[in-house]
Amino acid sequence: MIWIKGAHLIDAAEGRSGNGSLLVKDGKIARVSPVGEDFTTAEVLTVFGCDRLDEVCQVDGAGKYLFPGLIDVHVHLREPGQEDKEDIMSGARAAVRGGFTSILAMANTKPVIDTRALVEFVRMQGERAGKARVYPVAAVTKGFGGRELTEMVDLKAGGTVAFSDDGKGIQSAETLRLALEYAKLTGCPLISHCEDEQLAGPGVMRKGEASARLGLGGIPASAESVMVARDLLLAGETGGKLHLAHVSTKESVWLIRAAKERGIDVSAEVNPHHLLFTDEDVLLIDASYKVNPPLPSRADQEALLTGLLDGTIDLLATDHAPHTWEEKTKPFAEAPFGINGLETALAAVWQELVAKGKMKAEKLIELWSLNPARRFGLVGGTLKVGAPADLVLFDPNWQEVITVDTLESKAQNTPFLEKKLQGFPVMVWVGGKLVLNNRKVIE
């Protein structure tokens, strides 16, 4: 029994934003006060069916926001096979520390998640961790081979919520067409990592002036957008449910806008690092800025933000990609692609976009909680009565320096290392269970 009092509640599903209080009972949201009001003690005791307040956990929300837990549909947890980078436990801990109560675990593990037993393994490891809800994503093609489809209906029965070969683009258009057809039988979205391998070649950053200056191999924007165009056409033809991961170019944004106008069933995500950094930020000596798709040009970045604000892009996702220190301190050209995102993403987006007036807090919650829940058919995303109490109490004034010691993730490959950010979750509940308190993960 929890009584969270006097916080600024944001619920995109109800179009609600304003002060109020909320009651949690049996892991669910039991009551939400009208905006600007609180409950009387008598009301609280009636809802909880008890006669003394000392049985109720009271939380002072003054000066803080209370919103539904964020849902991250793009996370790499590395288990099984690369537990030196991350495992499901460390990833699920990092998630709640970053304000995420649900995460989707990508299939590019070793081995690839392409059997029902592996899907069930990921799901059960997530349950065992008992932090954020962990939903498995299964591969589209066996072993990420790009040719033979996985047993999608069986994988869905095992608990997968989406299909993806993320980390690798599906090069064969015919394979993707068939995959979209078969995925329809499951109702799950197919998440496409759009990357034409021939166009991308051996590039390591976005092709442009900055790559030429640094003498680094460039990946043209077309390596992504050509495949976005192809995938949209195939989704239109098949009626399949398509989700585009990590959209990073202006051409992709206008293609998605045109496809939506024609009623194609597509959703798309943008990653915080593509909104916060550009190719001009890439330093030869720091591979923490090396990511795939690469950091965009300024013009691309502006189109991504416009797309998010006008509804062309549906959601935010981190593409949390942990790698070892050893790998990421290699020369830029040799280090693996990926940015560690779970514990810094919300703070960084809040600080750079919300606090600076470029995005409303309400929009952020819609993009990172409500829309992912709706698109992927997950619980959460709302403060409606009866919804699970997946909640974040967020302090916009909390400042923290990101250090190796504070990160719950096993990896430290973040451009924010040793930097200060402002605006962090201070308490997080998953299904009414307190999993983060005063910035510390509860054991």
In the complex, the residues that contact ligand DOR under the rule CB under 6 A are 76, 108, 166-167, 193, 291-292, 319, 321, 336-338
Smallest CA-to-CA distance from 243 within 105, 338, 372 is with: 372
Nearest residue to Zn ion, scored by beta-carbon proximity: 193
Closest CB to Zn ion among residues 21, 141: 141
Nearest distance from C-beta of residue 94 to Zn ion, angstroms: 19
Q: What are phi and psi of 29, to 5 degrees?
A: -75, 120
Closest CB to ligand DOR among residues 241, 323: 323
Is residue 165 within the footprint of Zn ion (CB under 5 A)? no
Cα 430 from Cα 418, distance rounded (Å): 29
Residue 20 binding partner per list ligand DOR, Zn ion, none, with a CB distance cut-off of 5 to 8 Å that depends on partner kind? none
Smallest CA-to-CA distance from 211 within 280, 300, 273 is with: 280
Nearest distance from C-beta of residue 374 to ligand DOR, angstroms: 24
DSSP letter, residue 322: -
Query: To which residue do tokens 């030869």 refer?
Result: 284
Residue 76 binding partner per list ligand DOR, Zn ion, none, with a CB distance cut-off of 5 to 8 Å that depends on partner kind? ligand DOR
Query: To which residue do tokens 């409606």 refer?
Result: 384
Is residue 290 within the footprint of Zn ion (CB under 5 A)? no
**CB neighbourhood size of 356 (10 A):** 9
Residue 337 binding partner per list ligand DOR, Zn ion, none, with a CB distance cut-off of 5 to 8 Å that depends on partner kind? ligand DOR
Residue 254, Cβ density class (10 Å: 0-12 exposed, 13-18 middle, ≥19 buried): middle
Q: Which stretch binds Zn ion (CB under 5 A): 79-87, 147-155, 163-171, 354-362?
A: 163-171
Binding-site string for Zn ion from residue 18 to residue 57, where x marks contact by CB under 5 A and - marks none:
----------------------------------------
Is residue 76 within the footprint of Zn ion (CB under 5 A)? no
Contact by Cβ (8 Å): 9, 32: yes
Nearest distance from C-beta of residue 324 to ligand DOR, angstroms: 11
Q: Which of 87, 166, 224, 314 binds Zn ion (CB under 5 A)?
A: 166
Residue 409 binding partner per list Zn ion, ligand DOR, none, with a CB distance cut-off of 5 to 8 Å that depends on partner kind? none
Closest CB to Zn ion among residues 8, 74: 74
Asked if 26 is an active-site residue, the reply is no
Nearest distance from C-beta of residue 438 to Zn ion, angstroms: 34
Nearest distance from C-beta of residue 437 to ligand DOR, angstroms: 31
Which listed residue (11, 196, 319, 390) is catalytic? Answer: 319
Cα 437 from Cα 277, distance rounded (Å): 31
User: Would you call 102 helix, strand, or coil by DSSP?
Assistant: strand
Question: Could you tell me the CA-to-CA distances from 257 to 265, 298, 369, 410 in Å, in that order?
Answer: 12, 20, 22, 38
- Residue 40, token pair as written in the block: 């009387």
Residue 320 binding partner per list ligand DOR, Zn ion, none, with a CB distance cut-off of 5 to 8 Å that depends on partner kind? none
Interaction residues for Zn ion, span 208-267 (CB under 5 A): 245
Contact by Cβ (8 Å): 340, 319: no
Closest CB to Zn ion among residues 108, 186: 108
Question: Could you tell me the CA-to-CA distances from 265 to 168, 274, 306, 364 in Å, in that order?
Answer: 22, 24, 20, 22
Cα 171 from Cα 270, distance rounded (Å): 22
Nearest distance from C-beta of residue 245 to ligand DOR, angstroms: 7
Residue 291 binding partner per list ligand DOR, Zn ion, none, with a CB distance cut-off of 5 to 8 Å that depends on partner kind? ligand DOR
Closest CB to Zn ion among residues 245, 282: 245
Nearest distance from C-beta of residue 334 to Zn ion, angstroms: 20
Is residue 193 within the footprint of Zn ion (CB under 5 A)? yes
Contact by Cβ (8 Å): 205, 290: yes
Please list the residues that pair with 269 across neighbouring strands: 315
Closest CB to ligand DOR among residues 225, 369: 225
Count of residues of this chain found to bind Zn ion when the rule CB under 5 A is applied = 3
User: Would you call 142 helix, strand, or coil by DSSP?
Assistant: helix
Closest CB to ligand DOR among residues 88, 291: 291
| Cα 189 from chain centre | 15
Nearest distance from C-beta of residue 85 to ligand DOR, angstroms: 9
Residue 270 binding partner per list ligand DOR, Zn ion, none, with a CB distance cut-off of 5 to 8 Å that depends on partner kind? none
* H or E element in which residue 31 lies: strand 28-32
Closest CB to ligand DOR among residues 63, 81: 81
CA angle 245, 250, 256 (to 5 degrees): 55
- Residue 222, token pair as written in the block: 């077309």
What is the torsional sign of CA 109, 113, 118, 124?
positive
- Interface with Zn ion (CB under 5 A): 166, 193, 245
Residues annotated as catalytic (active site), given as ranges: 319
